[in-house]
Amino acid sequence: MQQPTRIIAVRHGETAWNVDTRIQGHLDIPLNDTGRWQAQRLGQALAERHSADAEAGRITAIYSSDLQRARQTAEAIRLATGAPLNLHPGLRERGFGAFEGLTYAEIEQRWPQDALHWRKRVPDWAPPPAAPDRAVVAPGESLLQVRERITHTLAALAAPHAGQLIVLVAHGGVMDQLYRLATAQDLQAPRSWQLGNAALNHLLWTPEGMSLVGWADTSHLEGQGLDETSA
């Protein structure tokens, strides 16, 4: 049987839009000051825990969403650990279509029925498309589409690293999918787990599936970290 790939999955550090509960989706928003501090602390913690002679083993590779809030977080890890960094668009946040750039309240006001489908986590529902003059905004993805994308991306990244440790830096929606996959949670199950910025989440992956080792470790942040899911 193939040795499992050990994964540390990390949501990017905080952004100004996280604080405002504004949907980012594929919009390329940078970290704010708190997020940059979180990324630095995250990198330091991983360097200490996963040095070459540490019992936990060294980090073989870092894979990150190519959106800059994740990329900036991953770069802090790269600088601290020396592990190679690779960008992968398959780790991007869910595409939110016309919702991108808006607050929760604005979405409720403009599209009450769509907002209801979103809150109820209807698996095959996707956010409405953006206006033609906002072509840079990603098409809306259903939860089923996001799960398929994340499952495929995870297999492609983890399979070459059997017996090794890798870091995945992504977004709140990706972390939610990883938790559900590792614990066999239904897509519509209410979320009872945290998705804090720059928290450490530990998983094991094999071709047969994924299991959860530890979740939402924020000890390196001394209790800091915003838990909202519009990433």
Q: Is 12 a catalytic residue?
A: yes
Using a cut of 0.75, tell me whether the model's pTM lies above it: yes
CATH number for the domain including 204? Answer: 3.40.50.1240
Q: Is 93 a catalytic residue?
A: yes
DSSP state of 31: B
Q: Is residue 226 part of a domain?
A: no
Single out the catalytic residue among 26, 48, 88, 93.
93
Q: Is residue 231 part of a domain?
A: no
Residues tagged in the binding site annotation for substrate: 11-18, 69
Q: Is residue 216 part of a domain?
A: yes
pLDDT at res. 139 = 80
pLDDT at res. 43 = 98
Q: Is residue 228 part of a domain?
A: no
How many domains, in total, are found in the chain?
1
Single out the catalytic residue among 12, 50, 161, 171.
12
Q: Is residue 157 part of a domain?
A: yes
Nearest Cα to 13, choosing from 76, 93, 100?
A: 76
Give the SS3 label for residue 131.
coil
> In this predicted model, what pLDDT tens digit does every residue of 43-69 receive, in sequence order?
999 999 997 656 678 999 999 999 999
> In this predicted model, what pLDDT tens digit does every residue of 199-210 receive, in sequence order?
999 999 999 999
Residues tagged in the binding site annotation: 11-18, 69
Lowest mean pLDDT segment, chosen from 50-59, 194-203, 215-224: 50-59
CA distance 224 to 19: 13
pLDDT at res. 181 = 98
Residue 169's domain comprises 5-221
DSSP state of 219: G
Pairing label, strands 200-206, 209-217: antiparallel
